[in-house]
Structure formats: C-alpha cells, structure tokens
Amino acid sequence: MPLREPRRVLVTGGAGFIGSNFVHYWCDRYPVDRVVVLDLLSYAGNRRTLEALEGQENFRFVQGDICDRTLVDALLKAENLDTIAHFAAESHVDRSILGPEAFVRTNVLGTSTLLEAFRQRWNKRGCPQSDRFLHISTDEVYGSLGPDDPPFTETTPYSPNSPYAASKAGSDHLVRAYRHTYGLPTLITNCSNNYGPYQFPEKLIPLICINILLGKSLPVYGDGQNVRDWLYVGDHCSALDVVLHKGTPGETYNIGGNTQIKNIDLVYTLCQLMDELAPNLPVHPSRDLITFVKDRPGHDRRYAIDASKIKTQLGWTPQESIQGSLRRTVKWYLTHRDWWEPLLSEEYQAYYRQVYA
C-alpha cells in the first residue's frame, strides 16, 4: 500500500455502476481513508452492491440528494471531507430522450450544488491545495465521429447531441468555471463506455446477457454499425486513482480503452460467450434472438478516445484485454442472477416497453 496521508472522500453516486466499483476499489486499496457515499438510490442505485462494506469503520452510506444543499453542507463539515469524487448522475441516453428534465436537475443543478458547497467549505478550511473535486464525465460531450475522424482529445470542441450529453457538458463547464473563477482544485475526466459487474440492466452489455438468459429478443438499434470504445470498469477506477493522486488541478484527462467495436460485433461476441458458458439457454444459438429495431433518435455514430495525455503525463494505461474481461463480465451476470433479477421491476418493465415497443 502506498505511503500517503489518509484522505476523507465523499463519493457521490457510489451505489451506481462505476461509483460502486470505485468504492470497492478505493476501500481495498486505501483502507486508512474515510469513504462516505452520498447516493439518492434512484432506480439505478443499489445499496446491496455495497453490503460487503456496511459496518466497516471507515465506510459510511448516506441516502440523499446531491441537490440538497443543507445535507451536502452538513456532510462536508461533519466528516471534514477533503475530496469529492462526483459520479452521481442520470446516466442513460434513452431515458434522457424520454424525459430530459431529470438530467438537467441532477447533472447540472446537482453538480452546481456540490461545487458551491465544496467552494464554501474549502474556503473555511483555508483553501488547502491538496483538496480535490474530481468530476467524472463522459466522452459523449464531444459529439459523434465519422468513420475516419481521429479520436477525441482533450481539446476537441464540445458538441453534445443527446439531452444526457448536453447536461454532462453543462456540468463540465461549471467545474471548469469554478476552477477559473475561484481557483478550486478541480479535475475533470471524460471516459468512454464502461462494462463490468453491477451495471444496471438497461445498458447494452447487461441487457444482452440478461435477455439471452431469459430467451428475449436482443434489440440492436438501427443498422448496428455504431461504434463504441469499451473500457473495463476496473481500469476506469485505476485511471481515476492516478488522476486524483497525480493529476494537475484544472486539467481534463480523457480515459479510454482503445477498443473500438461495432455494436453488432459486440452483440455477436456476447452471444458466442453465452452459448459457450451458459447451460440450457432457452434459445440456442442465442444469435437467433438478434432483432434490428428502430434507431435511437439522434444516435451518435462513433466514439473513440485518444488517451495519450493520461498515458504520457500520468503513466496510466488500461490493464485488461477486452477478451478476458468481457468473458469475466458475462460470467458475472451468469452467476449473479440474485443481483439483477430484482432490478427487472414493474417500473423497469414499463420503461422497457416505452423504449422498445
């Protein structure tokens, strides 16, 4: 374990997919740190994901809203927090198309509430330069690439296309402005598509795995030729660790896996893995379940991240290969039915019908 001063970290959205993976990563790696999770437990938050940590002395879970200024102020003060790792968000593009307002509220207003609370607390603490506000953002703020365009760099102009991407872009701009105006020790990361354990069933990879297990059709939007750049969630966590410890305040770092895959090819690979790993599938071969459906409105064609800045300046590269970690992820969904089955609630079914009807 590295020799360093203990940190007191607020993790917003720590019961969601990436946030919970980050909390497990951080508590394993830095057991002397205090970790306080603030999560509203929206449909995407799941306290069971953190149950192994409940009762541990350095861990605390608080159910609450990042838009609740009184609560955030009280937490920052009572816990004397010096670091915020801000994951909390409405994160699903399809939901943002159905109802953008929640995205503006949580992603823009919520980030603004946290920034303002952090600013006032930071001033009261005497403006320590070692404090950190780490804002976890997305490559979607950069818009969509053509087939031959170079990958997004940190200087690619913002061009968000979905309400989700626009709300994340708004939050990035606020973080940047707080650095510029008030000198807060902020950091921004823009990451590509993550996969791994504890991802909510609405996202492509868990959705395909679960639908194969249930014998349901596998909906592929449009022509299936859209490209995403996939990164294993554990690699995202190690990148955030490096950015928090070695990143220069005020800077933005792109994070990506250098693994561009067309959606249809990813779905074929998942079908192959499922056919190999899952006994007694309702439909075999599972690729017979693939159904091309109406495209997502405004669907971005291609994302790709140029992660050379974090590599050259901070020495981070992803450790996982897509083959190994995709296989592990598929096995995880196979063996954790007790985790995902309760999430297929009536509310989720209603959402599903709305998107895929």
> Where on the chain is the footprint of ligand DAU (CB under 6 A)?
91-93, 138-140, 192-193, 203-204, 207, 219-221, 226, 228, 263, 296, 303
Question: Residue 221's binding partner, choosing from ligand DAU, ligand NAD, none, with beta-carbon cut-off 5 to 8 A by kind?
Answer: ligand DAU
Cβ neighbors of 47 (< 8 A, separation 6 or more) are 15, 39, 41, 61, 63
What are the angstrom distances between the C-alpha of 31 and each of 91, 205, 245, 250, 320?
29, 31, 16, 28, 24
Q: Encoding tokens for residue 251?
A: 């800077």
Q: Is 140 a catalytic residue?
A: yes
**Of 290-349, which residues contact ligand NAD (CB under 6 A)?**
none
Residue 87 is which amino acid? F
Residue 30 or 164: the one with the smaller Cβ distance to ligand NAD is: 164
- Count Cα atoms within 13 angstroms, Cβ side, for 124: 12
Cα three-residue angle 119-39-109, rounded to 5 degrees: 45
Question: Residue 17's binding partner, choosing from ligand NAD, ligand DAU, none, with beta-carbon cut-off 5 to 8 A by kind?
Answer: ligand NAD
Residues 139, 229 contacting (CB under 8 angstroms): yes
Q: How far is the CB of 223 from ligand DAU (least distance, A)?
A: 10
Q: How far is the CB of 253 from ligand NAD (least distance, A)?
A: 12
**Of 196-235, which residues contact ligand NAD (CB under 6 A)?**
200
What DSSP character marks residue 142?
A: G
* Helix/strand number for the chain, H first, E second: 13, 12
d(CA 104, CA 101): 5
First to last CA, the chain: 51
Q: How far is the CB of 291 from ligand DAU (least distance, A)?
A: 10
Question: Residue 204's binding partner, choosing from ligand NAD, ligand DAU, none, with beta-carbon cut-off 5 to 8 A by kind?
Answer: ligand DAU
What are the angstrom distances between the C-alpha of 201 and each of 92, 109, 157, 228?
11, 26, 32, 18
Q: Is 341 a catalytic residue?
A: no
Question: Residue 122's binding partner, choosing from ligand NAD, ligand DAU, none, with beta-carbon cut-off 5 to 8 A by kind?
Answer: none
Q: How far is the CB of 312 from ligand NAD (least distance, A)?
A: 21
Q: How far is CA 350 from the centre of its chain?
A: 24
Q: Is 51 a catalytic residue?
A: no
The total of other beta-carbon atoms located within 10 Å of residue 248's CB is: 11
Under the binding rule (CB under 6 A), the answer on residue 49 touching ligand NAD is no
Residue 127 or 214: the one with the smaller Cβ distance to ligand DAU is: 214
Residue 221 or 333: the one with the smaller Cβ distance to ligand DAU is: 221
In this chain, which of 9, 23, 44, 114 binds ligand NAD, going by CB under 6 A?
44
Residues that bind ligand NAD (CB under 6 A): 12-13, 15-19, 38-42, 44-45, 65-67, 87-89, 91, 106, 110, 136, 138, 168, 191, 193-194, 200
* Catalytically annotated residues: 139-140, 164
